[in-house]
Amino acid sequence: MLTASIERIDLIAQDIEPIIQNCANLTSERQKHETKIAEIRAQSVKIKESSDKNAKITENCYQQFVDMDKLLDGINLKSITGPWLLSSDNTYTYKFNLHSLINNGQTVQSEPVHTSQSGYKLALIYGVFLDEKSQKRYLSISFIILPGEFDAILSWPFRFPITISILNLKETKKNINHSIPWNFQTVAFNKLINNTNVPFQISQFCLVDTLLDNTNTYVQDGLIFVKIHIDFMEPSANPTPNKEGLRTIQDPIQTNILQNMLTN
């Protein structure tokens, strides 16, 4: 009986031995697969890091191209248009949206215009002025001298008469005009201090209702057109100044600069 049991155990042992060997083989294979998986994971991390780095490089390159395009556009625009200049007859025509001005209730400054490439930098300011007594609304237009690149070499004060006109789109002879005569005591014409200046305001340029009631005459698609004219030939452009202004008039350097500015 003991012999039979031993023989049975031997048979079982023989059956178990291949199983144990298979388990060992599986363990070895598992270890190999785990090693490969670890290697793949490490490679994936490196690939991701490289991909992120390449993506950042690509993004930086794209941003540089965008910045270069903007810079080129700015250079091209400046080289083509330069600053807005007065026309050959010393005028410039602005346009602005009257309806937006009325609805917003805020002042609006126009684009700047230069009297020449190296001249004065000017602008207009639009607003709506309410007369407290009559409760009537007026279009307010102000003239202002802005800080310019060539202020240091220009003649001061600004000494040229100005005419501002709201254009009649049907009959040019019926423009709404206001003139600003030159006066050396007018603060708005003086050289800028700390890059700021006081505008010369015409608070009651014309009634708002006059413009609205004559839509086809003064307003087109909500826009009105305002022309500014600088009279460089007016005698008051060369007045007899006070003692302080005399030095500027008789300074040959300043005089030459003024003549160059008018001919540029």
The predicted pLDDT at position 50 comes to: 84
**Range in 125-129, 177-181, 182-186, 192-196 with the lowest mean pLDDT:** 182-186
Q: Counting beta carbons within 10 angstroms of the beta carbon of residue 28, is it exposed (0 to 12), middle (13 to 18) or buried (19 or more)?
A: exposed
The predicted pLDDT at position 238 comes to: 52
Nearest CA-CA partner of 92 in 108, 116, 73: 116
Cβ partners under 8 Å of residue 241, min gap 6: 184, 248, 249
Is the model's pLDDT at 259 over the cut of 60?
Answer: no
What pLDDT, in 10s, does the model give residues 39-91?
Answer: 888 888 888 888 888 888 888 888 887 887 777 665 555 544 567 888 889 99
Quote the percentage of the chain above a pLDDT of 70.
Answer: 81
Q: How confident is the model at residue 242 (pLDDT cuts 50, 70, 90)?
A: very low
What pLDDT, in 10s, does the model give residues 219-228?
Answer: 988 899 999 9
Is the model's pLDDT at 117 over the cut of 50?
Answer: yes
Q: Which residues pair with 200 in a beta bridge?
A: 143
Is the model's pLDDT at 212 over the cut of 80?
Answer: yes
d(CA 83, CA 211) in angstroms, rounded, equals 30
Pairing of strands 91-97, 162-166: unpaired
DSSP class of residue 222 equals: T
The predicted pLDDT at position 86 comes to: 87
Is the model's pLDDT at 92 over the cut of 70?
Answer: yes
Q: How confident is the model at residue 213 (pLDDT cuts 50, 70, 90)?
A: confident
Is the model's pLDDT at 229 over the cut of 90?
Answer: yes
DSSP H or E segment with residue 51:
helix 2-81
- Residue by residue, DSSP assigns 155-200 as -SS----EEEEEPPSS-GGG-EEEEE---TT-GGGSPPBTTB---E
